[in-house]
Structure 1
Amino acid sequence: MPRKSLSPVIYNLRDVKAKVATPIHCIVCFDNDRLKISTGFKVLPTHWNYTKQRVKNVVDAIDKDKINSFLNDLEKAAGEIIADLKSKRIALTKDVLKSRIEEFLNPAPVEDKPKTLLQFVRWYIETCPTRLVRSKGNRAGRVISPSTIRRYKTTLNGLEAFALKYPRPLDFENIDSHFYKAFTEWLTARNYATNNVSKYIENVKGFMSAAVDEGFTTNLAFRKFSNLREDAENIYLTEPELNRIYLLDLSKTPRLEKVRDLFVFAAWTGLRFSDFSALQPEHFKSNTEGEVSLNLKQQKTGLRVTIPVESEVVIEILKKYNNRLPSGISNQKTNEYLKEICQLAEINERILKHVTKGGKQVIKTTDGWSKISSGVEKWQLITTHTARRSFATNMFKRGMPTLLIMKLTGHKKESEFLKYIKIDPEETESLIRSYMRQNSALPKTAQ
């Protein structure tokens, strides 16, 4: 039976002489070719209208309306699929057409949308390994890192524990000022440091922002949540202290010697652990004058930095390992070895490190935190990131302009960079006096 003039679809029966219900076939005609598709429905030949290619409107025809409605939808869909493929200049083949029609016949199941923040966060974390970073610039297009996923899971654990105590369900519409106040108070009561509380809030804001983008909620109250942060009292190592560490004889303990060399290398280049633990000879470039520089793309930010290799210590370390630095162990183990190294180097100045925990200011002790403390020896506070802060601070003390140091560290915002400058009031006063004396000489008497 010829198809309708403008329709690409013909419906026919497998066996027109059958005495029982027989399958209805769909024939899609395109570009002098034909594609046969099963509709999944059957009909008695006596109940089939061969002219209209539909089930007859007779009482005995079971499900006639449902079958005809399906046949109408399939015919319309086939025409639209063919028109779409042609408009997009996609080659019309049996495989392509069959795939598109099967998508129509067997649509993917629609998952229930998360209705609460906890449901959304669990779903969001599950899909993180294939999600791209929610930012622009150099990090755009990169998948979310395992370390970020671990932080998300920590926040989820906190939210789940909080939900057991909070009288309101954590539905999207309930993430408001009342939630913010209760959650921050709950975290503070658990003796969390102010900056840790801030990280939880930052993650909650990120989850809610993603939920808005995904169309799960329109609640924007989270945008008014304040990030409670205090300036961290982190330390740095002076150049004499770095020299003391570098000159330490560790030849009998290779595990410490390699970590020491990597740390000192970082302290004179400003690299993060994720960068200096993965350096290759290809990262070192020489210009026509034989000057060597370190050129790499930072793991964390995606920014490319070029660091001139001028420090004699760095040059010695590179020669020692033939431009292939030791492979880094885990950050946690490196920090453990660093404390052992710096204790051997007698980096033992007593430091008073203040932190707000549980809403009260406390001081670092050997065993934890207390309101009253004589502080801790400096080696106890040293981590891999101390190297980066030491580089920034020591270059600043040498008089290098902050914008140049930022070119080396990869900072884009001066406000973020200045957090790395760790000089005490006495050092600040000394630097100011030095700068003022450079231009304080009396003008020469006119001849």
Structure 2
Amino acid sequence: MANIKFIIRDMNAKTEQTVYVTSRFGRNEKLMYATPLKVKPSLWDEKRERVKNTGYCSYREEVNGALNAIDALIKSFMAQVAMSESEVLSKDSLKNLLDVHFGKKRMQAKDFHSYFEEFIRSCETRTNPKRGGQTLSYKTMREYARTHYYILEYEKKRGIKLDFNNINQSFMNDFIAFLQEQNLSTNTIGHKIVCIKALMRSANENDLTSNMKFQFFKGISEQSDNIALSEEELDSLARFDFSSNPRLERVRDLFLVGCWTGLRFSDFTSIRKENILDGMITITQHKTDASVVIPVHPVFKAIWDKYEGILPSNISNQKFNDYIKEVCKIVGINSRVLKSITRGGKKQTTVYEKWQLVSSHTARRSFATNLYKSGFPAVSIMQITGHRTESAFLKYIKVTKEEHAKMLMKHWQKKGNLLKVI
């Protein structure tokens, strides 16, 4: 199999340079293909062939995500060629694949697999009407690419070749069994089902097949045992003195911003002075393109004033997740938490210390959970979190049965019901 690498040709240059994908075929034949991606050489990790993990590069995740997508595309193509009796992997065939991927050529899909590949490539230009016409995210493209990879592996394992007419309930049952053999979690398998249904729906819309059996595929999922931090734990975070460690202090402060705004990482790291007026934060969310209005909480106000209206946002989500775990461990957020997940069709339960499970999204979940526990109406919280149904919202927040009982007790005390004697 050909060796794939990503390189920058001039590592001594001061300006942004083109990222090339290279592959050698035999001793004398080599492809060096210029991608549209550009990176400063000082930010390029030659060993990892990706942008360095540094807070000084604001576009690291986007570029690395695009490189990962290209890598997944090529590996999927190689796997398909390896299974084919008529196709040969060559410099020209790989160049043609990349030309189609980057829009220099257009390939007419003829069968299930070629259409799947075109469907993956079109993620870069296909829009989501539910998100105001925004193009699909890299994560969506990656999920389609992974689904196609597992389908190719499934074909190898079962010794079959799928086409549009094979996509029926019998296939889906066996494909789920195969994915369980790969030790994938229930929710990961559920994502694969969603991807196949989306592909088949698109193929039907483009008159490539009349097979509608995919409509009867049932999704599978399980509720994640994610965590939320209580207001007492948030107070402990806010009071802890991190002045001797500015790196952790900045991450702690950003996390608290998320906890008291209910915004996602991409949004609470994007708050600017123009988003705040008359004690209200108004911001258009990156993920949904929906506008939300949130009152300024005293904790947010203190942090905002501390940084003079310029929050320390130059950090990747990955690094943030690493550092906030370090923060919570130091503060002592270490209560025992059981986390269960179904993997390979079997339920697995692991004991963690709470700090191990904290991430950027814990801030948003903590916001919603603490507000709900305080008695604030769920329908009003949903206006900020963006949940469309109360059932979905109630699954999202983390309130135990004991906490629900305590909420009822407080309600009775407030109403004076406990004083009534029959």
Give TM-score, length-normalised by structure 1.
0.68
Aligned to 1:64: none
Per the TM alignment, residue 112 of structure 1 is displaced from its structure 2 partner at its CA by 3.4
The 8 Å contact of residues 280 and 295 in structure 2, kept in 1 or not, is answered as yes
Identify the structure with the greater helix proportion.
Answer: 2
Distance 2:399 2:364 in 1: 14
The 8 Å contact of residues 297 and 303 in structure 1, kept in 2 or not, is answered as yes
Aligned to 1:275: 267
Does residue 124 of structure 1 match 2:111?
A: no
Point out which structure has higher relative CO (alpha carbons under 8 A, 6+ apart): 2
3-state DSSP class of the match of 1:173? helix
After superposition, the Cα gap between the structure-2 partners of 1:111 and 1:408, relative to the gap in structure 1 and judged at 3 Å, is closer
Distance 1:328 1:146 in 2: 21
Per the TM alignment, residue 442 of structure 1 is displaced from its structure 2 partner at its CA by 5.2
The count of aligned residue pairs is 317
- Larger Rg, first or second structure (1 or 2): 1
Aligned to 1:302: 289
Aligned to 2:349: 363
Aligned counterparts, 1:141-290, within 5 A: 141-286=133-278
Aligned to 2:378: 402
Structure 2 runs not aligned, ≥5 long? 1-104
Which among 310, 314, 318 is matched to residue 332 of structure 1? 318
3-state DSSP class of the match of 2:341? strand
The 8 Å contact of residues 129 and 143 in structure 1, kept in 2 or not, is answered as yes
Per the TM alignment, residue 441 of structure 1 is displaced from its structure 2 partner at its CA by 5.1
Deviates more, 1:160-169 or 1:292-301: 160-169
Distance 1:115 1:208 in 2: 12
After superposition, the Cα gap between the structure-2 partners of 1:267 and 1:111, relative to the gap in structure 1 and judged at 3 Å, is closer
Aligned to 1:10: none
The 8 Å contact of residues 278 and 328 in structure 1, kept in 2 or not, is answered as no
Per the TM alignment, residue 308 of structure 1 is displaced from its structure 2 partner at its CA by 0.7
Does residue 350 of structure 1 match 2:336?
A: yes
3-state DSSP class of the match of 1:164? helix
Aligned counterparts, 1:385-400, within 5 A: 385-400=361-376
The 8 Å contact of residues 350 and 378 in structure 1, kept in 2 or not, is answered as yes
Distance 1:260 1:174 in 2: 52
Aligned to 1:430: 406
After superposition, the Cα gap between the structure-2 partners of 1:110 and 1:119, relative to the gap in structure 1 and judged at 3 Å, is closer
Distance 1:409 1:328 in 2: 24
Amino acid at match of 1:122: E
Aligned to 1:69: none
Per the TM alignment, residue 119 of structure 1 is displaced from its structure 2 partner at its CA by 1.8
Per the TM alignment, residue 162 of structure 1 is displaced from its structure 2 partner at its CA by 1.5
Distance 2:409 2:164 in 1: 56
Distance 2:133 2:248 in 1: 38
The 8 Å contact of residues 325 and 359 in structure 2, kept in 1 or not, is answered as yes
Which among 113, 123, 137 is matched to residue 109 of structure 2? 113
Distance 1:418 1:203 in 2: 26
Per the TM alignment, residue 215 of structure 1 is displaced from its structure 2 partner at its CA by 2.1
Structure 1 runs not aligned, ≥5 long? 1-108, 287-291, 365-374
Aligned to 1:28: none
Percentage of matched positions with identical amino acids: 40
Q: Deviations over 1:259-287 (max 9, x none)?
A: 1111111011100011112222111122x
Q: Deviations over 1:13-54 (max 9, x none)?
A: xxxxxxxxxxxxxxxxxxxxxxxxxxxxxxxxxxxxxxxxxx
Q: Deviations over 1:376-416 (max 9, x none)?
A: 10000111111111000100111100011111222222222
Distance 1:175 1:418 in 2: 35
- RMSD over aligned Cα, in angstroms? 1.9
Per the TM alignment, residue 111 of structure 1 is displaced from its structure 2 partner at its CA by 4.8
Distance 1:177 1:408 in 2: 39
The 8 Å contact of residues 162 and 183 in structure 1, kept in 2 or not, is answered as yes
The 8 Å contact of residues 270 and 409 in structure 1, kept in 2 or not, is answered as yes
Amino acid at match of 1:389: R
Distance 1:362 1:110 in 2: 46
